[in-house]
Amino acid sequence: FGKDREFIVVHYAGEVRYTVTGFVEKNVETLSNELKDLGASSSNVQIASVFAASTSSVPTSDPNTTPARRSAIRGVSVASQFRTSLQMLVVDLECTNPHYVRCIKPNSAKAYNVFDSGEVLRQLRYSGMMETIRIRREGYALREEHESFFKRFHLLLSSEEAKQGDGISHLVKVLSKRLKLTDAEWQIGHSKIFLKRDLASKLEVLVHLRIRVAARVVGKFCRKIARDRASKLLTAWGKHRVHIMRECRKARAANKIASVHRMH
């Protein structure tokens, strides 16, 4: 390398620059104890001195060496350490309900209110986010539980269609026939349904329109009931008022007749 202490590896997303400072120490692989013993017993004094510090006293001549024994002979390698760490991570994840958040640095200067679009785009490309987005768009972007999907979109079925069957299979069959969809647009799994983003957006719009129409019908019905109740109340109030006026006229007429009769 000379004075240049860096090298570049071209990954699928772009170029990644590495520095050689501490590279060997970080990526060193543990030698097996057999090789250490062999190096320590070398007739070359320099080689023997190199391996002397790491000479293992574990016997290696036993043919009935168990897997645990063989692991002790080989020592702990970087790959085994990585595998153990990964297994511990998997165990922890299986005990939780993880939600992943991908953090993107807006700029390399760690300054606030500064958004470097080129830097953000580079991070998205290197993290594989652009490729993930492309795959999700081309594939089934949305995945939802059967029960949740049926509760959201069963409103699109008419009363007659709802009587003809039940369940998500019937719902998908009816909607596929109505919207002229193929099996490539969505698939029914054991516990989830998979559908593309465009189809999901279309179904959301149809549900929204169905709810708006239903709201208008309910509002019209409620207004009709309110008008009918108001009409009945006004009619009853009018009849009661007419009755009271008649009774008042009768009472006045009776009083007038009685006063005239007393005068004569």
Rounded Cα–Cα distance for residues 45 and 40 (Å): 9
Residues 6 or more apart from 136 whose CB is under 8 A from it? Answer: 197
pLDDT digits (tens, 9 = 90+) for 219-264: 888 888 888 888 888 888 888 888 888 889 888 888 888 887 777 6
Give 127-162 pLDDT, tens digit per residue: 888 877 777 777 777 888 888 889 888 888 888 888
Place of tokens 């490539």: 184
What does DSSP assign to residue 27? Answer: H
Residues 27-78 have pLDDT tens digits of 666 677 777 788 888 888 888 888 776 554 444 444 444 444 444 545 566 6
Report the C-alpha gap between 23 and 29 in whole angstroms. 12
Query: Would you state the pLDDT for residue 61?
Result: 42
Distance CA 139, CA 141 (A): 6
pLDDT for res 16 = 80
Specify whether the CB–CB gap between 145 and 194 falls below 8 A.
no
- In this prediction, residue 70 carries a pLDDT of 43
pLDDT (0 to 100) of residue 56: 44
191-196 LR contacts (CB < 8 Å, sep 24+): 191/145, 191/146, 192/143, 192/144, 192/145, 192/146, 193/143, 193/144, 193/146, 193/149, 193/168, 194/140, 194/142, 194/143, 195/140, 195/141, 195/142, 195/144, 196/139, 196/140, 196/141, 196/142
Lowest mean pLDDT among 27-36, 98-107, 165-174: 27-36
CA-based nearest residue to 32, from 42, 20, 24, 40 = 40
DSSP 156: G
- The predicted-structure confidence for 211-223, as pLDDT tens digits, reads as follows 898 888 888 888 8
Residue 142 phi/psi, 5-degree rounding, is -110, 140
Note the pLDDT tens digit of each residue in 185-199: 888 888 888 888 888
Rounded to whole angstroms, how far apart are CA atoms 41 and 35? 10
Please give the residue that has the higher pLDDT: either 231 or 24.
Answer: 231
Q: Please tell me the predicted confidence (pLDDT) of residue 58.
A: 42
Residue 120 · residue 106 · CB < 8 Å: yes
Residue 120, pLDDT above cutoff 70: yes
pLDDT score at 17: 82
- Among 66-75, 80-89, 94-103, the range scoring the smallest mean pLDDT is 66-75
- At 49 the pLDDT is 84
